[in-house]
Amino acid sequence: MAQAEIVATETRHRSQRARLTLARQDVTLADGRRVVFRPICPADTDGVQAFFAALSPRSRHRRFHFGMNTLPDTVLRSLTEVDQHHHVALIALADGDAGGDKPVVVAEARYVLLNECCDAEFAIAVADDWQGNGPGRHLASTAR
């Protein structure tokens, strides 16, 4: 498979930026389940909506700081239509429950640069059944 590239900004010194190239990564987690980590794209809207709907109210509140059951279209677009430079977003995908089902989103992480130098907002969410097994830790270390 062709390498998916993300151009991310990392501050080394206040005036110097490094460009990082991140590829799709197939990873086996601590509990033996396999996950694919890759950049998010607009085609992921259905998967992100399903991921959000499956989160417990507590996990939804931890991620978005307010309660809602579904993501409005404008929010969904802002989460999936990112430039992968100022707004970098990665997802973790696992095989569907019935083997042949399409992959399901089990975690997502993102950061949005607030300025060209060093400030960013970071957010991460992990499906309740996947918490504590490493997808969030992997996304956080990849996104930084």
- Domain assignment present for residue 71? The answer is yes
Residue 1 lies inside a defined structural domain of this protein: no
Q: How many residues does the structure list for the chain? A: 144
Domain that holds residue 83: 8-143
- 33: exposed, middle or buried (Cβ count in 10 Å: 0-12, 13-18, 19+): middle
CA dist 126 and 16 (Å) reads 32
Check: CB of residue 138 under 8 Å from CB of residue 131.
no
Tokens of 7: 């151009």
Does residue 121 fall inside a structural domain?
yes
User: Is residue 86 in a domain?
Assistant: yes
Share of the chain above pLDDT 90, in %: 58
The reply to whether 26 falls in a domain is yes
Q: What is the CATH number of the domain that holds 132?
A: 3.40.630.30
Contact predicate 6/39, CB 8 Å: yes
Quick check: is 47 in a domain? yes
| Alpha helices (H) in the chain, listed in sequence order | 45-54, 57-64, 73-80, 135-143
| Whether 73 contacts 52, CB under 8 Å | no
Q: What is the number of domains present in the chain?
A: 1
State pTM to two decimals: 0.80
pLDDT (0 to 100) of residue 15: 29
In a domain, 2, yes or no: no
The string of pLDDT tens digits covering residues 8-59 is: 333 333 323 334 456 789 999 989 999 999 999 999 999 999 999 999 999 9
Residue 94 corresponds to which tokens in the numbers above? 């696992």
Q: Which residue carries 């918490």 as its tokens?
A: 131
In a domain, 3, yes or no: no
